[in-house]
A and B are shown apart, each in its own frame.
Chain A
Amino acid sequence: MPTSRLAFVPFVSFVTFVSLVSMAQVRRAPSTMPRTADGHPDFTGTYDAGTLTPVERAPGTPAIIPADEVKKLEKQAAARMTTGDAPIKGDRTAPPVGGDGSVGPAGNVGGYNTFWLDPGSHYTVINGQARASIVVDPPDGRVPAITPEARQRIAARTRTAAATSDTISRENDPGYEGGGAYDDPERRPLGERCLLGFGSTSGPPILPTYFYNNLHQIVQTKDSVMILTEMVHDARIVRMGGQHLPKTIRKWMGDSIGRWEGDTLVVDTTNFTDKTRFRGSTPDLHVVERFSRLDARTLLYRFTIEDPATWPRPWTGEYAWPATSDLIYEYACHEGNYALGNILRGARLKEAEDAAKKKP
């Protein structure tokens, strides 16, 4: 018993020492962080926003994941990639008729093997705590439920055009989207059309892709800050100081103006169009982003979303952007986008086939 106690004391001292050291590092960061000639923090650099932390966490679950649990989860994520990389049978047969049974974004025919993927390998850590969700307010880590008005608006938008492919039988074809989703190229998501972002990678707010190309580059001058998003090659220019443009001038990524609040860069964005709907938001969406430093190599990206016609209350998320020495590559994808043509052509053929089947 005395022996274990003796062993316990140095352990506690060690833990205290480690905690103090990490606290000291956080406090020391401001003096060591890179600064521009005019004294503001210099955020210029390339950052990897890839993370295992999801936007929302499961209802009723804690905001912080204990360290031992994080280790386990990250190990499992790495193991899934390793399993995906493992050899399979060279003399295998074709996959099953009717699809591989996968649901969700990959559709019923499945995706690609893991060598193409780079989804992030760690949970986001802020002040030493691994986060279970990017959303921090509401404190339950969930995006607030959209208003009844927003629900009606979104439903009405889906009904705007007559949905010819609605009549298509989706039997044995669960990967095929309904709701006239393939009726018109403009009904396809902006990312799929190589126009802007994927999900909300270009933002604002900027969110991880959770599969690949999570890099962002910041170039900072006294008068403007550029945020380049690799996926889908989008550059947003933030004007420092200044006022928002008149409400009649609207932009796909909104109109962003920046200001400094101490060592935090605050970017205020309004004047959105109705083309970039973040989770069903209106053009009146208002996003406030706050860029600050967790340490000399890590940014904290925090955002607050406000759109009373969509959510009954503002909500906030945050996650860490570690700097990376990896390079951003151009993601010019329009010219090589055979997929969009294949998708629309496939839908027309399916319509014709299904119509032929229905004839007596």
Chain B
Amino acid sequence: MRTRISICAAAALAVAAALPIAAHHAFGGEFDPNKPVLLKGPVTKLEWVNPHAWIHLEVTNPDGTKEEWMVEGGTPNTLLRRGITRDSLKVGTIIVVDGYQARDHSLKRANGRNITYPDGRKLFLGSSGTGAPTDGADPTEPAKGRGRGGPGGR
């Protein structure tokens, strides 16, 4: 019986573990596994649209030239339910993105496998003063819904 339960648990876990990374569409068709990118720069624009939010950032190349990149994220609906809005990430906030470039290399687009602040904190999970949802730590900031970093967060 014990073994059976363990098998069941293991199977359930395997299913659950495989699923959270699944999202809307064919990542393998859209992005090139042989073109990994690491992008760093200030946010220039947010497209808070379905099926995928797109975060624009300005990246400075080693030769000093600047390029605007677009980074694909998931649905804005889920973030809205947590109280995160398009205003939660301010233009000018420096972010770091790792991902893979679109197969069409002429497009400066990539998937956002990990989107963080420069200190490595995941985007939108941080504390006050970063453009992330408030956590109540800063009494001067108005409460802004149910950010996961704050009270009532998941």
Contact = CB atoms under 8 A, between A and B. Distances in A.
Interface of A: 52, 54, 57-58, 60-62, 65-66, 69, 72-73, 76-77, 80-81, 84-90, 92-100, 102, 104-119, 121, 132, 172-177, 181-182, 188-189, 191-192, 194, 198, 210-213, 230, 232, 326-327, 329-333, 335-340, 342-343, 345-347, 349-350
A109 B123 CA distance: 20
Nearest to B38: A94
B95 to A, nearest CB: 10
Contacts of B20: 80-81, 84, 111, 114, 117, 119, 210-211
Contacts of A350: 103
State the majority secondary structure of interface residues on A. Answer: loop
A81 to B, nearest CB: 7
A189 B7 CA distance: 33
A104 B77 contact: no
Nearest to A198: B24
A115 B100 CA distance: 19
Interface in B73-108: 73-81, 96, 98-100, 102-104, 107
B120 A90 contact: yes
B115 interface: yes
Given A57-B8, A112-B23, A329-B80, A97 B113 contact: no
Nearest to B11: A58
A248 B123 CA distance: 51
Nearest to A114: B20
Interface in B28-69: 28-34, 36-38, 47, 49-52, 54
A323 B9 CA distance: 27
| Residue from the set B14, B102, B115 with the largest chain A CB neighbour count within 10 Å | B102
23 contacts: A57-B11, A58-B14, A60-B7, A73-B16, A80-B16, A94-B38, A95-B100, A105-B22, A107-B29, A109-B32, A109-B111, A172-B33, A191-B24, A192-B25, A194-B51, A329-B77, A330-B50, A331-B75, A332-B50, A336-B51, A346-B31, A346-B102, A346-B104
Given A118-B81, A213-B75, A329-B80, A176 B22 contact: no
A348 B52 CA distance: 22
Contacts of B38: 92-94
B116 A99 contact: no
Interface residues of B, number: 76
A342 B112 CA distance: 15
Nearest to B103: A346
State the majority secondary structure of interface residues on B. Answer: mixed
Interface of B: 4-5, 7-34, 36-38, 47, 49-52, 54, 70, 72-81, 96, 98-100, 102-104, 107, 109, 111-125, 148, 154
A207 B121 CA distance: 34
Contacts of B148: 85, 115
Contact of B18 (A92, A104, A173): A104
B50 A333 contact: yes
B23 A338 contact: no
B37 to A, nearest CB: 6
Contacts of A106: 21-23, 27
Nearest to A63: B8
Contacts of A61: 4, 7-8, 11
